[in-house]
Structure 1
Amino acid sequence: MSKRVCPIWIGYLLLNPIRKLYQNPEKILSPYVSEGMTVLDMGCAMGYFSIPLARLVGTDGKVICADIQEKMLKSLEKRAAKAGLSDRIETRQKLNLN
């Protein structure tokens, strides 16, 4: 099995604002996520779904974001801080390419 990961530049493509026209995170997730919940975002990359999830869970909720790439998680942490949502988002790096 190949030990390749998604190039970091793909993460920026995934954050493209045009994507919201056909895949709006709030619209997709709001029927399933409510305030106070703890949510797991596996393979979060730079947080296309993580940031909206943090808004949906509110001040009492938590979003645990897991990815295998440290650069993706660092970018997510910067975006969460800029959005004022750092207190709701926890990042976890798991590297197991076996």
Structure 2
Amino acid sequence: MKTLKVLATTIALSSVTLAGSAMADTKHIQATNNSVSTEICVAAAKGKLMKFSQAVSESRLSMKKVADVVSCNGLDIASFAQEQGANKVAKKINSYRTQPTQYIAKI
């Protein structure tokens, strides 16, 4: 009987662990080309601040230039990162932004 309880507990914990792992990997971003801006967008979306900073550094672009110029899937890079749940990266990008975001309204 004791073995049965241990087995049931082990199965329950394993299923919770596997479900958590599957949920953590639901955000899968894949580059469609090898351009510098695409690599920066992918790094921003993944939400790892160090990896993002490294990608920007390797691109030889300034963080200010990336914040003001790079767009990802039709959005500015900060909005794209935030849409992907990478709030720390979005906050860092916004701290370098010098050009105000422009919105064009259709009338």
TM-score tier, shorter chain, comes to 0.3 to 0.5
TM-score (structure 2 length as normaliser): 0.30
Greater fraction strand: 1
Higher Cα Rg: structure 1 or 2? 2
Bigger relative contact order (CA 8 A; separation at least 6): 1
TM-score (structure 1 length as normaliser): 0.32
Greater fraction helix: 2
